[in-house]
């Protein structure tokens, strides 16, 4: 019996109830007996990863204020202990620990052909009494999506059977392309927190309703005689985290007061069995929103790429809101079965890691992926080099792939200091594996990729670090507007996240050991400028040029800022 036959045997065994792996097993049971009236299935932040990939979870995930040292801000052994996880395969799914050796043992995660198989199984098990919800950041993140303006992912979403989605990075293609993609999407796109600007209304652009919504704020789906209201919450700070010039007619925001009004209206007019918020807020924002807004039964969250093996429950006026989050890159699928009661519900929850080599891929999805990749195959598969270090991104501070990007700019653009945005997306490349153009795109595929090289004063550099730090570590989740910390090379610094703005960053030091001077000018390179359009080369070309010239990228250690805290137990595990 070869490996494929063995996997097929396992899947057949699951379906027949013969094979029932435990948490200590090295296989995953994707055949889940239904409970209650309906099944809700959730994916989020897949970032256009059609193919299986490696993805290393963070070893830095800092919470501040009331979220300090609480889920989702737990990593490594502390996460495993908190959730009582003890098997090697789950350790690999949920943490960065022993990542390289476990990656070689257990293989890759995700892949839309494998997601399709698992989701179809979950829907079949529930007698099709199900909804598939997508939290957004789906149509962006790969070279193929960049080259097709997201069309590859729109059709993949259709084949997958996405019923409802919201968004964030989808808007960075620009309003025109976004609307074109929406026309080809078979599901519903919902967002209660996006409106048209006054200028757009003056120019004759029509909202979808009398409340000036850009897209439908919610939809009602009837599943097994249960009316489910799905409200959309797109990323509130899209015009801040990304260039506003790409969405000039739209305004965003958290808008929890409007959300409360909408929920009250839905309850009065629609008489729903369940109210779901399909959110791209991030977990900490969802927790605060659940504590302020009455009447949300379940929040399916996204944006922060956090993994929640168990739901977070928030009690607001003796009413429970269940918060779920499904990681990123197609690495996980969340599944919650609901039994509706009068004014309440019971649930059963599973967070399923998608181990690709345990799943027979969907032929239909595989054919779509092959067809979309065919015109670009030679370009995307071009081998550029290798690395002696696992190349990853994800965590509050520098990742090793970020170092490669910064070193590329430093060498090609001849700069003293490099700044790279703290994006969370980007698949991992194992040490010694070929680094292809597709791998480089997986960390750089945006619609504003141009590099810059300019003089900045030391004070400007410090202010950039302080501003980004406040976006991440502001104790009020509603004021956390960014991704992770800006990545840097050429400097080191101390950071104290619990401090207030302009008091977090200290002792910025150049590689020569000298302190950065406020009034001195330095040559700085960077990319992904939000406020201005740059004319430099795309960052993927700069990275390709550098890696192609050296062929082998040697990295002894990922240099992180010095974390200053009186508490050593700060959600960090190296």
Q: Residue 139: pLDDT above 80? A: yes
Asked if the model's pLDDT at residue 336 lies above 70, the reply is: yes
- Residues 280-294 as b/e (b if ≥16 CB within 10 A, e otherwise) read bbbbbbbbbbbeebe
Q: Euclidean distance between the first and final Cα of the chain, in Å?
A: 41
357 or 16, higher pLDDT: 357
What are the backbone dihedrals phi and psi of residue 114, each rounded to the nearest 5 degrees, phi first?
A: -80, -40
Q: What pLDDT sits at residue 481?
A: 84
Residue 25 pLDDT:
54
Is residue 413 within 8 Å of residue 473, measured between CB atoms?
no
**Taking all residues of the chain, what is their mean pLDDT, rounded to a whole number?**
93
User: What is the spatial distance between Cα 67 and Cα 323, in angstroms, rounded to a whole number?
Assistant: 14
Contacts of 179 (CB under 8 A, 6+ apart): none
pLDDT in tens, 301-329: 999 999 999 999 999 988 999 999 999 99
pLDDT computed for residue 483 by the predictor: 82
Q: Which residues, other chains included, contact 78 with Cβ-Cβ below 8 Å and sequence gap of 6+?
A: 569, 571, 573
| 183: number of Cβ within 10 Å | 7
The partner residues of 219 in beta bridges, in order of sequence, read 230
How deeply is 322 buried, as exposed, middle or buried, from its count of CB atoms within 10 A (0-12, 13-18, 19+)?
A: buried
Predicted confidence (pLDDT) per residue in 182-220, tens digit? 999 999 999 999 999 999 999 999 999 999 999 999 999
pLDDT of residue 16: 34
pLDDT at 15 over 90: no
* Contact in structure between 281 and 289 (CB atoms under 8 Å): yes
- Residues 134 and 210: beta-carbon distance below 8 Å: no
pLDDT tens per residue across span 505-527: 999 999 999 999 999 999 999 99
Is the model's pLDDT at 3 over the cut of 80? no
Instruction: Return d(Cα 424, Cα 566) in angstroms, integer.
Output: 27
Convert the pLDDT of each residue in 539-555 to its tens digit.
Answer: 999 999 999 999 999 99
pLDDT reading at 533 higher than 60: yes
Structural domains of the chain, ranges and CATH numbers in brackets: 1-31 (no CATH), 34-53+108-369 (3.60.21.10), 381-563 (3.90.780.10)
- Confidence bin at 567 (pLDDT 50/70/90): low
Region 402-417: mean pLDDT is 98
Q: What is the pLDDT of residue 342?
A: 83
Model pLDDT, residue 343: 81
pLDDT mean over 35-55 = 98
pLDDT, tens only, 439-485: 999 999 999 999 999 999 999 999 999 999 999 999 999 999 878 99
Confidence of residue 559 (pLDDT cuts 50, 70, 90): confident
pLDDT classification of 254: cutoffs 50, 70, 90: very high
Residue 481 CA neighbour count, 13 Å, CB half: 14
Please tell me the predicted confidence (pLDDT) of residue 534: 96
Among candidates 183, 106, 196, 181, which has minimal Cα distance to 138?
181
pLDDT at position 450, please?
98
State the pLDDT confidence band at 572, using cuts at 50, 70 and 90: low
**Between 366 and 574, residue with greater pLDDT:** 366
């Amino acid at each position: 019996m070869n490996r494929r036959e063995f996997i097929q045997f396992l899947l057949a065994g699951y379906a027949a109830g013969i094979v029932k792996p435990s948490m200590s097993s090295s296989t995953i049971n994707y055949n889940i007996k239904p409970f209650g009236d309906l099944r809700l299935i959730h994916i989020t932040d897949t970032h256009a990863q059609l193919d299986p990939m490696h993805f290393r979870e963070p070893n830095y995930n800092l919470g501040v204020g009331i979220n300090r040292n609480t889920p989702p801000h737990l990593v490594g052994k502390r996460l495993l202990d908190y959730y009582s996880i003890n098997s090697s395969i789950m350790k690999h799914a949920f943490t960065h620990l022993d990542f390289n050796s476990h990656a070689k043992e257990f293989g890759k995660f995700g892949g839309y052909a494998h997601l399709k198989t698992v989701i179809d199984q979950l829907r079949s098990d529930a007698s099709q009494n199900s909804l598939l919800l997508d939290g957004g950041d789906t149509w962006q993140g790969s070279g193929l999506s960049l080259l097709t303006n997201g069309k590859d992912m729109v059709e993949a979403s259709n084949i997958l059977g996405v019923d409802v989605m919201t968004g964030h990075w989808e808007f960075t293609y620009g309003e025109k392309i976004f609307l074109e993609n929406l026309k080809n999407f078979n599901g519903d796109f919902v967002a209660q927190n996006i409106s048209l600007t006054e200028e757009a209304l003056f120019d004759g652009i029509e909202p979808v309703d009398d409340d000036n919504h850009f897209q439908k704020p919610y939809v009602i789906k009837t599943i097994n005689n249960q009316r489910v209201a799905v409200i959309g919450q797109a990323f509130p700070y899209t015009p801040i985290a990304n260039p506003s010039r790409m969405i000039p007619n739209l305004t965003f925001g958290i808008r929890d007061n409007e959300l409360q009004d909408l929920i009250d209206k839905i309850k009065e007019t629609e008489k729903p069995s369940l109210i779901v918020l399909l959110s791209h807020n991030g977990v900490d924002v969802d927790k605060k929103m659940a504590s302020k807004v009455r009447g949300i039964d379940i929040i399916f969250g996204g944006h922060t790429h956090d993994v929640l093996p168990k739901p977070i429950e928030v009690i607001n006026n003796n009413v429970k809101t269940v918060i779920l989050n499904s990681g990123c890159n197609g690495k996980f699928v969340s599944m919650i079965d609901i039994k509706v009661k009068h004014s309440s519900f019971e649930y059963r929850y599973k967070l399923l890691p998608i181990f690709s080599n345990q799943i027979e891929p969907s032929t239909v999805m595989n054919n779509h992926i092959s067809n979309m990749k065919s015109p670009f195959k030679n370009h995307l598969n071009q081998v550029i080099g290798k690395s002696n270090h696992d190349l990853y991104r994800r965590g509050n501070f520098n990742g090793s792939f970020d170092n490669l990007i910064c070193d590329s700019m430093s060498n090609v653009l001849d700069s003293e200091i490099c700044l790279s945005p703290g994006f969370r997306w980007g698949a991992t490349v194992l040490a010694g594996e070929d680094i292809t153009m597709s791998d480089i795109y997986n960390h750089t595929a945006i619609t504003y990729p141009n590099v810059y090289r300019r003089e900045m004063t030391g004070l400007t550099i410090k202010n950039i670090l302080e501003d980004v730090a406040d976006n991440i570590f502001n104790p009020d989740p509603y004021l956390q507007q960014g991704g992770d910390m800006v990545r840097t090379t050429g400097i080191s610094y101390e950071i104290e996240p619990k401090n207030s703005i302009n008091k977090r960053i200290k002792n910025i030091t150049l590689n020569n050991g000298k302190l950065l001077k406020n009034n001195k000018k330095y040559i700085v390179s960077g990319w992904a400028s939000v406020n201005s359009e740059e004319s430099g080369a795309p960052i993927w070309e700069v990275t390709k040029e550098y890696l192609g010239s050296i062929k082998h990228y040697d990295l002894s250690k990922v240099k992180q800022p010095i974390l200053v805290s009186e508490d050593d137990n700060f959600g960090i595990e190296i």
